[in-house]
Amino acid sequence: MSPDEYIKSKITSPLSETSIRAKSNLLIASSTSIVIYHTGLIPTQIEGLGITFSPSQQLAFISCLLILVSYQLVSFSLSAIPDYYISKLRRKAYTESCLQKEDFLKPGHTFEELKADFNEIFNPLETDSFIITKLTIYRVLFDVAIPMSISLYSIVVLIKLLCK
């Protein structure tokens, strides 16, 4: 893996397409639950179909929504965890490929040459690695932590609705 490919993989989305779809579904189900809780929009009837919901059917609707959000959270977690390990494997493969270069750690290298070699491995684009690390943390926060927090909040509010 070239340095450019590695940096590109580090600063782009840490999630695969499967995880992104799971995250979208999770956010849709969670936001629907939160809207229902905060606005009190528990359906009492669907006029187009001529269906009326009794209080017990409304609880069943909320229970189904709770199960859906829980399922989507587990689905997203199970798809995001392998993505984390894949990114770790990319880092390992990149580091190993750099360390296997023929001229790396040859006898007679000065400390400055070794320092330059290590800098080339860990900072290939000659940018501030702190900025790339910070960007990576923000991506993980916005792509993983915030959707999971929203879904956990929606689970809590749905349980509150069920306990009323």
Q: Give the largest CA-CA distance in the chain.
A: 85
The one-letter amino acid code at 58 reads Q
pLDDT 10s digits, 66-93: 999 999 999 999 999 998 888 888 778 7
pLDDT 10s digits, 108-141: 667 677 677 666 666 666 666 677 778 778 888 8
Domain ranges, ordered by start, for the chain:
3-163
Distance CA 109, CA 49 (A): 79
Calculate the average pLDDT of the chain: 83
pLDDT at 121: 65
pLDDT at 128: 66
Identify the residue whose tokens are 């960007």.
Answer: 135
Distance CA 160, CA 18 (A): 31
Radius of gyration of the chain (CA): 24
